[in-house]
Amino acid sequence: MGSDQARSQLRSQIWSTCIMLNPPTLWITINPCDLHDPIAQVFAGEHIDLDRFDSMLGPSKERRAANVAADPYAAAKFFHFIIQKVLETLFGISVGAYRVHSTEGVFGYVSAYFGVVESQARGTLHLHVMLWLQNAPSIDDMESLLKDEAFRERVRAFIRANMRAYLPGLESAESIKRVPNDVEVAYSRPPNPSSNGYEETVVELERRVVRSKNLHTCEMRRCLVPNRKGGLVCKRRAPFSVAEDDFFSEDGTWGPKRLYEFMNTWCPTLSVNVRCNNDIKLLSNSRETMNVTFYITSYQTKKQGRNFNMSAVLAKGFAFHAKRTSYNETLQDQQRLMLFRLVNTINREQELAAPMVMSYLMGWGNTYRSHRYTPIYWSSFEGLLLRAYPSLSMRGPQPRKDTNDFISDRWETKRSLSPFMLMSQGESALQ
């Protein structure tokens, strides 16, 4: 688990979902704040009354950080609890034993999701997730819809409701300084919708959260990386482009209203209810923006770093085993010793955050998928195809052809019948 091979298989599953349900519609990053969220503290053993929560009571900031650092199980349990509730409550999608259940959520009806869990440098877990919305236009339909002003206005309304980079008071660096930077804003509870002044409370809480969580600051060893010219550039592509209003143009480009170039985009529902750093992007699926889908597919399943690549660690352990194993030992003893040495090599040299280790040990894994996937092996598929259409076989009697014709025919057959992962949803499957 967590190896490059496993992540490559996830990429195949993402593309098979795109074949079944069209490309994804939304790309979201959720980074729950385990240091200050009271739910994490409850999992760590603190006695906090969440029904009558008072931020003035309970453990101090230093105590909360020590609780999470000392209990990676509580940190992992908190993360998976929050993500599961976000999917079910806010996005309105849950997975049953035989089918996917979808109710109306903040984005409408979600038909599928696919998310990969990663750990940051300090060990905190976060999720990159793709959402497929029901009845979203296909790429072919999008070409004509982009020319319809009524459709573009509907998309702008969707952006205005779910993707923001501006609130009153966040217009410039000077105005942002006047908003308190509450680093402990996560140590709170979402406002009660039935309380008096709920709308004003929500706006104020959202402003406090994004001021402390979504304001980007370029720093060394954080986002600044050297470029080919010897300078430094932000790998998050800050400063971001500014816009006087939400826009969605005919070529598929889009953006939220942003007046300060260092405000990252956020989803207001996630900011208010989870009170954490988050990011959201619309995948318009126009031909001009198709490269975004390729990018996020690679980014979501990115390879491990060179210093802690599991395959390299295993290769090093195997070299040690091969050098010190005697030929006089039986094959069974050799294999047992090899597995023992490889596992010890991983335990000694593989760098994994403690919450991620607990996720693996508890069976929570590092992937959130709404559907089940079954691999289709090319050899079996080719054999079935040749039995049904013997004329495709190159072994039987065939008209005499030039060598280049054989190579061309074989290549065209394989390219047009590329294998994909089979995605199933309960009893409904690809036949």
Q: DSSP secondary-structure letter at 215?
A: B
Helix extents (H) in 350-394: 354-361, 378-388
Write out pLDDT tens, residues 244-274.
999 999 888 899 999 999 999 999 999 999 9
Looking from the CA of 51 toward its CB, the CA atoms found within 13 Å total: 0
Q: Is the pLDDT of residue 16 over 90?
A: no
| pLDDT recorded at residue 85 | 95
| pLDDT recorded at residue 429 | 38
| pLDDT recorded at residue 262 | 92
- What percent of the chain is helix, strand and coil (3-state, nearest 5)? 45, 15, 40
Q: Are 360 and 310 contacting, i.e. CB atoms less than 8 angstroms apart?
A: no
Q: Higher-confidence residue: 45 or 19?
A: 45
Write out pLDDT tens, residues 396-407.
555 554 545 544
Question: What is the residue-wise DSSP string for 99-130?
Answer: SEEE--BTTB-EEEEEEEEEE-TTS-EEEEEE
Helix extents (H) in 288-430: 290-300, 310-324, 331-349, 354-361, 378-388, 403-416
Q: What is the pTM of this model?
A: 0.79
Element (H, E) at 152: helix 149-162
Q: DSSP secondary-structure letter at 89?
A: I
Highest mean pLDDT among 21-25, 84-88, 391-395: 84-88
Give the amino acid at 383: G
Looking from the CA of 96 toward its CB, the CA atoms found within 13 Å total: 7
Nearest to 128 by CA among 279, 10, 254, 272: 279
Q: Is the pLDDT of residue 214 over 60?
A: yes
The mean of the pLDDT values for the chain is 82
- Cα Rg, the chain, nearest whole Å: 26
Give the amino acid at 199: E
Q: Note if the bond before 239 is cis, omega within 30 degrees.
A: yes
Write out pLDDT tens, residues 270-328.
999 999 999 999 988 765 455 555 666 666 566 555 555 666 677 777 777 777 666 55
Structure tokens given for 353: 């955050």
Element (H, E) at 65: helix 61-70
CB neighbour list of residue 111: distance below 8 Å, 6 or more residues apart? 21, 93, 100, 102, 132, 133, 134
Interatomic CA distance for residues 14 and 220, integer angstroms:
33
Write out pLDDT tens, residues 116-154.
888 877 778 999 999 999 988 887 888 889 899 999 999
Say which range, 34-43, 106-115, 122-131, 336-345, has the weakest mean pLDDT. Answer: 336-345
Nearest to 277 by CA among 294, 293, 265, 291: 265
Q: Is 425 helix (H, G, I), strand (E, B) or coil?
A: strand
Banded pLDDT at 160 (limits 50, 70, 90)? very high
Q: Is the pLDDT of residue 228 over 70?
A: yes
Nearest to 114 by CA among 2, 4, 24: 24
Helix 61-70 vs helix 72-85: crossing angle, to nearest 10:
100
**Domain residue ranges in the chain:** 4-304, 379-429
| pLDDT recorded at residue 273 | 93
| pLDDT recorded at residue 402 | 52
| pLDDT recorded at residue 426 | 43
Element (H, E) at 225: strand 224-226
Interatomic CA distance for residues 292 and 269, integer angstroms:
24
Q: Is the pLDDT of residue 179 over 70?
A: yes
| pLDDT recorded at residue 222 | 74
